[in-house]
Amino acid sequence: MTLVGIGVLIIGIAFAIISIFVARTLNNLAHVLNGVDETVKKLPDQLDGVMNQTAEVLGQSRDTLADVNEKIRTLSPLFYIIGDVGESSRKLTSSLVDMTSSLKKNTNDGKTVVNEENLRGLYGAIAFSYFLTKRKKAMKAALDHTNQK
């Protein structure tokens, strides 16, 4: 054999090895494409199922929304009543705040008069004697009550 024959033999063996590798790769690719083909064939049925379920969910959502709207319509008068009560209580509280501010001003005016007239001691003595009188009556009533038993 000559060198040309040996070179051709080596090229032939390399070509055979490459052919086997390419054949196996193409065979695996054919299996993958068969799997894709099966998946694509199932796709329309799966999409039909998904669309049917979506339509069902949308129908149920529409029914639920209609039910919620009906319940809100039923509760609306209650919310109006609660709003009216809140507004009334706000007006009442506002009136009480105005009255309290007026009383505070009147009390401060009276305090100013007492301080200017130096009547603080006199008012204190009157208040103390009133307190003692009330206390004495309460103690007497308690003694009478225990004596009756």
Q: Render pLDDT for 19-38 as a digit per residue (tens, 0 to 9).
A: 999 999 999 999 999 999 99
Owning domain of residue 135:
120-149
Q: Considering the entire predicted model, what is its pTM?
A: 0.38
Do 63 and 112 share a structural domain? yes
Do 135 and 103 share a structural domain? no
Do 98 and 67 share a structural domain? yes
**Of the ranges 2-6, 57-61, 96-100, 119-123, the best mean pLDDT one:** 57-61
pLDDT of 93 reads 84
What total of structural domains would you count in the chain? Answer: 2
Do 77 and 148 share a structural domain? no
pLDDT of 112 reads 62
Rounded distance between C-alpha atoms, residue 10 and residue 3, angstroms:
11
Do 136 and 79 share a structural domain? no
List the one residue out of 135, 116, 114, 136 whose CA is nearest residue 124. 114
Give the tokens for residue 120: 């603080």
Give the tokens for residue 136: 């004495």
Do 94 and 130 share a structural domain? no
Do 108 and 73 share a structural domain? yes
